[in-house]
Amino acid sequence: MNYSELTNKTTNNFANSMGNGHSTDKSTYKSTGELNNKPANESTGRDKVDALIAKQASIAEKNNHIEPALYGKHNVKIGLRNSDGTGVLVGLTRIGDVFAYVMKNNTKIPMEGKLICRGIDISEMVQGFQKEKRFGFEECSYLLLFGELPNKRELEEFEQMLAENRELPEGFARDLILKAPSRNIMNKLARCVLAAYSYDENPDDTSIPNVIRQSIKLIAQFPTIAAYGYQALAHYYKGQSLYTHKPQPHLSTAENILHMIRPDCKYTRIEAEVLDLALVLHAEHGGGNNSTFTIHVVSSTGTDTYSAIAAGLGSLKGPKHGGANIKVMMMMDDVKENVKDWEDEEEIEKYLEKIIRKEAFDKSGLIYGMGHAVYTLSDPRAVMLKKKAGELAREKGFYNEFQLFERVEKLSPKVFCKVKNINKPMCANVDFYSGFVYKMLNIPVELYTPIFAIARISGWCAHRIEELVDGSKIIRPAYMNVEVPRGYVPMNERE
């Protein structure tokens, strides 16, 4: 089943099920496509405009190209990366950290990866709440926001605050989501976050108590906005009946997501546990990742919480950041279609060679989900999610496919070494298994990146608070102008 079929199958399953909640027949509204249709006689004018824009785009591309050699000449850290691939040090944080190697005699020595949140190894936290048979995302959010683990009473109070804020303001869902659907739920999230500014009686106050209040509200409401955004998308763009379910105050974040996106509101305990784990593993990843750094940069201007979080959403939407698990699923669909025997490692290896040689799949030469900018021997998030993915695969009847993922993970480093003649550590990152987990949970692909945002909002808010507490200056790096000086040319002398 390819990516498009996966999307359609998920939506059809959604439509063919009956559920509790409110239903609106599609005939009640005109589709967005009907509203935007243009008369046929306007097509010629559009063609002329398109041709003009294409010409202008070519000029813009030519005049914005910078010779690569100039970056080396001026010692520019492209992508804020050092020559050894590490990030340029631009700040200090107490929130999160990633350990993937040790430096010895100016040489990187690979090590098993560790993700640290507020000084605590995330694997220890996961073991802790899973051993006690609790959901962990709320505890993780508390730790990120306040810097300390909550006791039982503090966690219950925090969970109660989230529960009280999960529902959207009166008319918000109707006016901002259902009446204005979007094909991309990340855009819908960003629009709703900016709109939330108007529903806040004190939106511009950047005092820490007020920002914490805003943070709790956003953490609570992100799942509701995303769920309703998907229901609107399925209704307007896929012709399905519209179902909306209110969030339930007694449910965890993971449980509420499954409750709100499924027509019958039903889910199993292991389904909720796996999604909860995915949320915990995506909540924080240090201050240098693109979206979190964006939060720091925008917060350093003194702007409001809603503007800062909307900027983070814009960053995460980018396919180089938040959409990697979708590319993994597309690639694996391609592998499944072209590898006849999923247990034949030799056949799998040969097809991976074709992918790396740019002869198969999208011809990018990339095996998506393999390798990481920081992690070397292992990504701890992938290790933990893989374990739960295996349990879920057995329950859901996907174990053969899970084993194919394992074989691709196992063979990819060997194939890269063989084809590229590069002998460096390569591990599966969290994106390699997260999309597969969401597929088994019957979560629509349109929600993959929004779920990332639902998790990362806790980390973003924590980093915003840190920037407001300790950031003394607006973040302003330098760009060197390398354009050749020239004089102004009068209109009648131009070509």
243-258 pLDDT, tens digit each:
999 999 999 999 999 9
**Which residue is listed with tokens 């969970």?**
159
Whichever domain contains 383, its CATH number is: 1.10.230.10
- Examine residue 402 and state whether it is found in any structural domain, yes or no: yes
- Examine residue 424 and state whether it is found in any structural domain, yes or no: yes
- Examine residue 142 and state whether it is found in any structural domain, yes or no: no
Residue range 283-288: mean pLDDT, rounded: 96
pLDDT on residue 38: 54
- Examine residue 217 and state whether it is found in any structural domain, yes or no: no
pLDDT on residue 32: 38
Structural tokens at position 159 = 């969970």
Contacts of 197 (CB under 8 A, 6+ apart): 203, 304, 306, 307
Q: Which domain holds residue 397?
A: 325-440
Phi, psi torsion values for 338, nearest 5 degrees: -105, -10
470-487 pLDDT, tens digit each:
988 999 999 999 999 999
Check the CA dihedral 103-370-273-245 and report its sign. Answer: positive
- Examine residue 365 and state whether it is found in any structural domain, yes or no: yes
- Examine residue 396 and state whether it is found in any structural domain, yes or no: yes
Is 372 marked active-site? yes
pLDDT on residue 68: 94
- Examine residue 261 and state whether it is found in any structural domain, yes or no: no
Number of domains the chain contains: 1
Please state, in angstroms and rounded to a whole number, the distance separating the CA atoms of residues 6 and 445.
8
Taking CA 252 as the corner, what is the angle to CA 251 and CA 257, rounded to the nearest 5 degrees? 90
The single residue of 276, 304, 379, 431 carrying the catalytic annotation is: 431
Q: Which helix (H) or strand (E) holds 316?
A: helix 305-317
Give residue 417's pLDDT band: very low, low, confident or very high (50, 70, 90).
very high
pLDDT on residue 101: 86
Of 462, 439, 459, the C-alpha closest to 5 is 439
The single residue of 372, 379, 463, 470 carrying the catalytic annotation is: 372
pLDDT on residue 40: 57
Task: Specify whether the CB–CB gap between 401 and 436 falls below 8 A.
Answer: yes
pLDDT on residue 471: 87
Please state, in angstroms and rounded to a whole number, the distance separating the CA atoms of residues 387 and 381.
10
pLDDT at 320 over 50: yes
108-153 pLDDT, tens digit each:
889 999 999 999 999 999 999 999 999 999 999 999 999 999 999 9
Is 259 marked active-site? no
The model's pTM: 0.89
DSSP string, 327-351: HHHHHHHHHHHH-S-TT-HHHHHHH
Residue range 376-396: mean pLDDT, rounded: 96
Task: Specify whether the CB–CB gap between 280 and 448 falls below 8 A.
Answer: no
- Examine residue 436 and state whether it is found in any structural domain, yes or no: yes
